[in-house]
Amino acid sequence: MTRTTLITGASKGLGRTLASFLAAQGDELILTARGGAALEKTAADLQRTGANVRALPGDVADPDHRKALVAAAAEKGGLDLLINNASTLGPSPLPDLIDLPAAEIRRILEVNLVAPLELVRIALPVLKSSGGLVINLSSDAALGGYEGWGGYGASKAGLDLVSLTLANELRPVGVAVVSVDPGDMNTEMHQAAYPDEDISDRPEPEATLPFWAWLFGQDPADVSGRRFQAQSEQWLVSS
């Protein structure tokens, strides 16, 4: 049976890598990102391979856009995978947390924490109909307390707790939720965190594919509530 997958932040980096991987598995994809031109290019590249892709540019912090994404999934009759990958880093270079303006903190939390939760909330009917799996992209910044990463890290720590709570609450209705720290990668966001450094030695997003191939082969009920590290020797984070 064909799987329907919604990926946010899908135009570049890990989001594009996941879209390419899942398109090759035969998934029907709904892709979104803020950068319309880059998203349309990603969609066109995948469509040339025969993939079934619908691109809906927009900001996941916009409630109307979230509704449009879920409506697109409802048109397909359900949602098997919701991958909350879209994130914002905040100002670059990264300021100390004490110097991060309140408006920037609110924006980071709106995109990285509130939007994923709201997408799950409004997508719940279509997730339930498919026995869907929600994957929330976390970070080691959620645990590290790294200088400069306070706003972003706080949003991801909150997302980890949201993921675990939703997993517990939604288990009775057959919806699974996990969080995944993909590890350091050579992406535009990571470069923005270190604007004066050469990060070309970081792994490409494709380095995470062995983990994703494993995760997508699991029974969602068996992994729900877990936190994973996609580039570690042991993928499952001990509780």
Delimit the domains of the chain by residue range.
4-229
Please say if the pLDDT value at position 37 is more than 60. Answer: yes
- 138 and 177 Cβ atoms separated by less than 8 Å: no
Active-site residue, selected from the candidate residues 152, 211, 212, 216 = 152
Residues of the chain with pLDDT > 90, as a percent, come to 93
Please say if the pLDDT value at position 156 is more than 70. Answer: yes
Name the amino acid, one letter, at 142.
A
Q: What's residue 196's pLDDT?
A: 86
Q: What's residue 160's pLDDT?
A: 98
Spatial CB neighbours of 100, under 8 Å, sequence gap ≥ 6: 90, 91, 150, 151
- 164 and 180 Cβ atoms separated by less than 8 Å: no
Cα-based angle 34, 59, 135 (whole degrees, multiple of 5) = 95
- 103 and 27 Cβ atoms separated by less than 8 Å: no
Q: What's residue 237's pLDDT?
A: 83
Q: What's residue 239's pLDDT?
A: 56
Q: What's residue 238's pLDDT?
A: 67
Active site includes 152?
yes
Please say if the pLDDT value at position 165 is more than 60. Answer: yes
Which tokens go with 57?
């540019």
103-120 average pLDDT score: 98
**Residue written as token pair 């997003």:** 205
Which tokens go with 68?
């449009």
Which tokens go with 74?
């409802």
Q: Domain 4-229, what architecture?
A: 3-Layer(aba) Sandwich (3.40)
Residues of the chain with pLDDT > 70, as a percent, come to 99
178-193 average pLDDT score: 94
If pLDDT is split at 50, 70 and 90, which confidence band does 190 have? confident
